[in-house]
Amino acid sequence: MNKNLSSVKALTFDVFGTVVDWRSSIIKELTALGESKQISADWESFADKWRGGYAPMDQVRKGKLPWKSIDELHRMVLDQLLDEFQIKDISESEIAHLNKAWHRLAPWPDSVEGLSRLKEKYVIATLSNGNISLLVNMAKHSGLPWDVVLSSELAKHYKTDKEVYLTAASLLDLKPEEIMMCAAHQDDLLAARALGLKTAYISRPLEFGPERKNDATDDMPFDIIASDIAELAQQLGI
């Protein structure tokens, strides 16, 4: 193991894309709903727009909107998409259930095993833009063995605002260099790195589907580049 990493006591994980495969999970729920209601639509496009429609999150970041949880932001985007896709034959309780599809995302095949191994040596935590209840429900649904569930919700700021990482460090009572941020997205890691956290890039080439590349580049300045969470454990000597 890189000697530089011997200070690390806790690993904080981005969740959507890094630990769970949001795209396949959401497409699966949309497809099942469509079949049950005999609605046909381009569910892949619907899923991508749902995930991509985070303009309101930027408004929260800039202070133009008061704090709203991911559940609330998902619902704002969902309502727009149901309109855009002209899906009308759907009840309020069905919409509310669909909105919680984000609580039922399936882990990548290596996630549960990799996290379980890492938990033997480190505190493993979420550090996600997802709200606490979403992350708790997801962990129950998928068997993710978190030691502690941390979220942007606790800072009332969204990543990549610095308050999110600093709140996590404060709650864990650790110095930045005692924490390694683990994510499949460079912007998240660059923000953590600027504050002194260690960083691990987890490559998830299929996060955005087979036709869109992830953001991996050849010159990433992170402490670890891993092909998945199990391989991260291996690189950390576990």
For a copy of itself, which stretch binds (CB under 8 A), given 16-24, 41-49, 54-62, 144-152? Answer: 144-152
Task: Print the SS3 string covering 40-108.
Answer: CCCHHHHHHHHHHCCHHHHHHHCCCCCCCCHHHHHHHHHHHHHHHCCCCCCCHHHHHHHHHHHHCCCEC
Tokens 């299929």 identify what position?
206
- Binding of a copy of itself at residue 154 (CB under 8 A)? yes
Angle at 220 between CA 171 and CA 149, to 5 degrees: 20
From 149, 164, 181, 229, residue interacting with a copy of itself (rule: CB under 8 A)? 149
CB of 71 or CB of 113, closer to a copy of itself: 71
Nearer to a copy of itself, 154 or 166 (CB): 154
We find the least distance from the C-beta atom of residue 12 to a copy of itself, in angstroms, to be: 12
Using CB under 8 A as the binding rule, whether residue 139 contacts a copy of itself is answered as: yes
Residues 58-77 that bind a copy of itself (CB under 8 A): 71
- Residue closer to a copy of itself, measured from CB, 103 or 204: 103
By CB neighbour count within 10 A (0-12 exposed, 13-18 middle, 19+ buried), where does 85 fall? middle
Instruction: Tell me the β-bridge partners of 125.
Output: 12, 148
With 0-12 / 13-18 / 19 or more C-beta atoms within 10 angstroms meaning exposed / middle / buried, residue 103 is: buried
The one-letter amino acid at 121? K
Select from 131, 152, 160, 186 the one that contacts a copy of itself (CB under 8 A): 131
Of 173, 211, 218, 219, the one binding a copy of itself (CB under 8 A) is: 173
Tell me the window of 74-82, 139-147, 183-191, 207-215 that interacts with a copy of itself (CB under 8 A).
139-147
Among 37, 140, 175, 212, binds a copy of itself (CB under 8 A): 140
Q: Judged by CB, which is closer to a copy of itself: 12, or 186?
A: 12
State the chain's maximal CA–CA distance in angstroms: 59
Give the interface with a copy of itself as residue ranges (CB under 8 A): 71, 123, 131-133, 136, 139-140, 147-149, 153-154, 171-174
